Amino acid sequence: MTRGENRQILLQRRPDGALRESDFALAASPMPEIRAGQFLLRNACFSLDAGFRKWMNAGADDNYLSAMALGAPVQSIVLGHVTESLHADFPVGSLVLARASWEEFSALDGSDFAQKLEHDGSFPLHEFVAALGPTGMTAYFGLLDVGRPRAGDTVLVSAAGGAVGSVVGQIAKILGCRTVGITSSPEKCRWLTDELGYDAAINHRDPAGLAAAMRETMPDGFDVYFDNVGGAMLDEAVRHMKLGARVVLCGAIADYDHNDRESGMFHMWEFIVKRASAAGFMFSDYVARYPEAVRDLSQWLRDGRLKSVVDIRHGIAETPKAFCDMLSGASRGKCIVQL
Amino acid sequence: MTRGENRQILLQRRPDGALRESDFALAASPMPEIRAGQFLLRNACFSLDAGFRKWMNAGADDNYLSAMALGAPVQSIVLGHVTESLHADFPVGSLVLARASWEEFSALDGSDFAQKLEHDGSFPLHEFVAALGPTGMTAYFGLLDVGRPRAGDTVLVSAAGGAVGSVVGQIAKILGCRTVGITSSPEKCRWLTDELGYDAAINHRDPAGLAAAMRETMPDGFDVYFDNVGGAMLDEAVRHMKLGARVVLCGAIADYDHNDRESGMFHMWEFIVKRASAAGFMFSDYVARYPEAVRDLSQWLRDGRLKSVVDIRHGIAETPKAFCDMLSGASRGKCIVQL
């Protein structure tokens, strides 16, 4: 029996600054054969997460992940069904969220992140990589645990219409906060206030400047900044902190294309005079508390108080464009490739 | 009766980058006359604190202090005795620590920071601006409350031989930590390890580079960084954080001469993958807890476990040079002008 092909998206070359579709290549390798202790996942969705951009750089090894290898399939969080299994914990038919790659089939052994999910059909499958998946967990624990907002607080969100940002803004409203979102066009600003419930929106490309827009939308500053961007936007934001403000460091897109020496922080002094703090986190540290987040998030989805915003692209060949669109702000909400 | 002169040091011009003695001028004004509700302080010591450099810049107003006025006496923490009083809380003879100016006599009304001290003679007077004053309070609460070190932790300190740094390094040793100090010459490195008890020292001007020195002295990174410098040094330090590291933002000398676009932070991403945090603070928020700090610090001074390092200069005319020496690293420990 021929096992056929396994189409993959390879990291063809190291990105030089801003990512381009030509940094990737579609290829086909033989279908993987599983060994004892492994299972074969037929991938249904790729979760496109901006953070993975960082590990495409040479020497990007850190204590979390290694730099991706050139010519190898690109690492990603994926959602799939087990179609063959030699692993007792992952029988055929299981729905699994795992760290794998942009490929149709992945042979895994469960030693890296791999979580078996229950799926009773009450939400569409893709929701498990969106509001009920890593995106939702990141928004929930980052905002509640690191940001610690109180009702009445002003919560500023960057990449406010992106995967995590769109959930953070809505949770903050549910908690009784005033929300201000930063996005990249007047159209997206209108969408933030009209559809996602933000109290105010800032277009960071507005020629009037970010500083003026922050002063206008937050005359007294913010209590919490949920930061998905880093760099110069973070540097400007810290000049608008209230006393005791908390900055949630969730993403640092500005650091990923690391040849931009202007995208730095030059106002750390503000943290001193404002007695403010900044803290990073990873959703994967909260595994033990996922049920609490899933309970709240699925209730809010059912109530209609939380809208899940997804941008679904179809077919593995669309993955490079989808990932570039997400990083450049051309997508809204969670960007997902469905196979 | 002629009341004589009151010699003062004025801010003559706005510093252009690095501070120069010529930015200041010695002048004399008439001795102030006190009104109802005021008292006259005959200043005995000026506390030279690097943070005040910031407020010498134009537009440096923040929620803590306003930018200093050109042509006016330079703001400073001072220690003095009350010689005339029309204020019931500050009778003649009181010893007072206050925010005033570089001048021989200050007319104050107690509405700004002004703290009456008990002095039983068991410590020299200048100790109340050093280990038992703002310097000691800053070191104590910044390290214990913000840094939260545990025995066995590695604690990195910048400006490690300076006013606050020299106390922080010694407290961290008393708490059972391993200490690494950053300073500006091989001689000061030897002094840090031989006299102040640091386990290792780094000369940040060493041509081999800061990164290599940090890797060598802290192969596993640090748990706490007590940062008095900010800028490029902070940016390099965050690349050596352990998981869950805490950065205490105490000073940001690198930000004060704010025309240096290289002295920024470009590695905020590290806070995310290391789940680390940075927080600023001000010693003046801890007034209610001063007795706790004074009790511990004076006990350690008496036991000989804490050495108070002071650089005392004599005469008001020496103040500009003393302040420049402190900022450039040419002084050791707490720099004080005695009148």
How many percent of chain A have pLDDT more than 90? 81
Q: Is A258 on the interface with B (CB under 8 A)?
A: yes
Taking CB atoms and an 8 Å limit, are B230 and A271 in contact across chains?
no
**Token reading at B207:** 């041509």
State the smallest CA–CA distance between residue B33 and chain A in angstroms: 34
Residues of A in contact with B262 (CB under 8 A): 261
Distance from CA of B75 to the nearest CA of A (A): 17
Q: What is the pLDDT of residues A297-320, one digit of tens each?
A: 999 999 999 999 999 999 999 999
Pairing of strands B241-249, A334-338: unpaired
> What's the pLDDT at A2?
58
Residue of chain B minimizing CA distance to A235: B265
For residues A326 and A162, the answer to whether their CB atoms sit within 8 Å is yes
Question: Which of chain B's residues have a Cβ under 8 Å away from the Cβ of A62?
Answer: 270, 273
Is B322 part of the contact surface with chain A (CB cutoff 8 Å)? no
The residues in A 267-286 lying below 8 A from B, measured between CB atoms, are 267-282, 285
CB pairs under 8 A between A and B: 117
Question: Which residues 197-236 of chain A have a CB within 8 Å of chain B?
Answer: 230-231, 234-235
For residue B262, the model assigns a pLDDT of 59
Nearest chain B alpha carbon to A260: B266
Distances (CA, A) of A45 to A38, A57, A195: 20, 24, 26
Query: No. of H helices and E strands in chain B?
Result: 9, 15
Domains and CATH numbers, chain B: 5-130+310-338 (3.90.180.10), 134-283 (3.40.50.720)
Strands (E) located in A102-159: 105-108, 114-117, 154-157
Contact B272 A250 (CB under 8 A): yes
Q: Which pLDDT band holds residue B309 (cuts at 50, 70, 90)?
A: very high
Mutate one of B246, B269, B283 to test the A interface: name it (highest A CB count within 10 A): B269
Going by pLDDT thresholds of 50, 70 and 90, the confidence category of residue A1 is very low
**Between chains, do B279 and A276 touch, taking CB under 8 Å as contact?**
yes
From the CA of B244, how many Å to the nearest CA of chain A? Answer: 9
Q: A290 in contact with B at a CB cutoff of 8 Å?
A: no
Distance CA B296, CA A107 (A): 60
Residue B261 in this model has a pLDDT that exceeds 60: no
The pLDDT of residue A163 is: 95
> CA–CA separation, A234 vs A265, rounded Å?
7
Closest CA to B282 of B11, B15, B49: B49
Q: A 48-67 residues with CB below 8 A of B?
A: 51, 54, 62-64
Instruction: Please tell me whether residue A286 adopts helix, strand or coil conformation.
Output: helix
Radius of gyration of chain A (CA): 20
Provide mean pLDDT across the span A29-41: 96
From the list A264, A273, A282, which residue is nearest B264 (CB)? A264
List pLDDT tens digits, range A232-267. Answer: 999 999 999 999 999 999 998 877 765 555 578 888
CA B271 to chain centre: 26
Model pLDDT, residue B216: 97
Q: Kindly list the distances between the CA atom of residue B218 and the CA atoms of A129, B85, B239, in Å, as whole numbers in the listed order.
A: 39, 55, 11
* A contacts of B231 (beta carbons < 8 Å): 268
Mean pLDDT lowest among A58-67, B8-17, B261-270, B307-316: A58-67
Give the CA-trace dihedral at B201, B203, B207, B208, to 10 degrees: 20
Concatenate the DSSP letters of all residues of B239-260 into one string.
GGEEEEEEEEE---HHHHSTT-
B280 chain-A contacts, CB cut-off 8 A: 270-277
Please report where in the chains the tokens 């302080």 appear, as a residue.
B41
Other C-beta atoms within 10 Å of B318: how many?
Answer: 17
B197 class by beta-carbon count within 10 Å (0-12 exposed, 13-18 middle, 19+ buried): middle
**Per-residue pLDDT at B258:** 57
Residues of B in contact with A271 (CB under 8 A): 249, 278-280
CB-nearest partner of A265 from B51, B264, B282: B264
Q: Please tell me what DSSP assigns to residue B282.
A: -
Which tens digit of pLDDT belongs to each residue from B141-175?
999 999 999 999 999 999 999 999 999 999 999 99
**Does pLDDT of A284 surpass 90?**
no
**What would the mean pLDDT of B178-185 be, rounded to a whole number?**
97
SS3 percent helix, strand, coil of chain A, rounded to 5, is 30, 30, 40
pLDDT value at B36 more than 80 = yes
What would the pLDDT profile of B38-93 be if each residue is shown by its tens digit? 999 999 999 999 889 988 987 777 767 788 999 999 999 999 999 999 999 999 99
Convert the pLDDT of each residue in A99-115 to its tens digit.
Answer: 999 999 999 999 998 99
